[in-house]
Amino acid sequence: MKQFLKLAEFCKNNNIAYDAEKDRQFNIFCDLLEEKNRVMNLTGVTDHDEAEIIHFIDSVEAAAVINELYGKDTNIKVLDIGTGAGFPGIPLKIVMPHAEFVLADALNKRINFINEVISAANLENITAIQGRAEEIGQSGMRESFDICVSRAVADTSVLLEYVLPTVKKGGLCILYKSGDYRKELETAAYALDVLGGTLEDVKEFCLPESDIGRSLVIIRKINDTPLKYPRRPGKPSKSPLIMK
């Protein structure tokens, strides 16, 4: 079993609780990721040292923001859209045991993998569902989450149509971005306005022992999202809400 010392240090420096049980759960997740990645395409990074930085520390960054805004032990409801192999949802769940999580992805094989992780690591109050963001936003789950997170799923103008319909008015969307988020935000200004959001903050990070820059773009939902959004599956990416 590996001790995720860099992750533990990151958590300590960011006021996120970390202990031996969480270390055990991250080990189970990492072992399963390595094992299953041999037979299905889950991620390019399974080496434990690399995954600790690229996947785990990167994913838990939002916990610092959420703890600061909501308090550490709050029973909030969080959705991860396009979770893939469980990022950022699984690491966030491990360090935020009091929050309720729903992890969603369009691909069922990834959901099956996540269910294996949930069961092996004894994670509670977490559900993995197969579904497209466009369907979730028009289902009974519409406007039912306090926070929606999403990493590496789509350009901001498209992503906003996936995430904003899912959160309650007053709730947050936390978008994990690499590269030039400013340019994406400029293009997404129209979508942000139409869908009822406003830019609250951007937190910039550099992943430890690397020059890899990451940003958390924090969007607050200040108005109801018009009922016609999200549009039908495929429409947001084919025809993003951009002022022509």
Nearer to ligand SAM, 81 or 99 (CB): 81
Angle at 166 between CA 219 and CA 18, to 5 degrees: 65
Nearer to ligand SAM, 18 or 176 (CB): 176
Beta carbon of residue 104, minimum distance to ligand SAM (angstroms, whole number): 6
Supply the Cα-derived Rg of the chain in whole angstroms.
Answer: 17
CB 107 within 8 Å of CB 52: no
Task: List residues binding ligand SAM (CB under 6 A).
Answer: 81-85, 87, 104-107, 110, 132-134, 151-153, 162
Helices (H), 87-215: 89-95, 108-120, 133-136, 156-163, 181-187, 189-195
Beta carbon of residue 190, minimum distance to ligand SAM (angstroms, whole number): 20
User: Any idea what DSSP says for residue 55?
Assistant: I
Q: Is 58 exposed, middle or buried (0-12, 13-18, 19+ CB in 10 A)?
A: buried
CB 60 within 8 Å of CB 11: yes
Nearer to ligand SAM, 11 or 42 (CB): 42
Beta carbon of residue 20, minimum distance to ligand SAM (angstroms, whole number): 26
Taking CB atoms, the residue at the shortest distance from ligand SAM is 84
Beta carbon of residue 71, minimum distance to ligand SAM (angstroms, whole number): 26
The rounded distance, in Å, linking the Cα atoms of 23 and 19 is 6
Nearer to ligand SAM, 76 or 114 (CB): 114
Helix, strand, or coil (residue 40): coil
Beta carbon of residue 180, minimum distance to ligand SAM (angstroms, whole number): 18
Beta carbon of residue 153, minimum distance to ligand SAM (angstroms, whole number): 4
Nearest to 95 by CA among 62, 120, 49: 62
Beta carbon of residue 56, minimum distance to ligand SAM (angstroms, whole number): 11
Q: How far is CA 94 from CA 18, 91, 196, in A?
A: 9, 5, 31
Nearer to ligand SAM, 25 or 83 (CB): 83
Q: Which position has the token pair 């990070």?
A: 205
Nearer to ligand SAM, 51 or 66 (CB): 51
Nearer to ligand SAM, 99 or 154 (CB): 154
Which amino acid, residue 7?
Answer: L
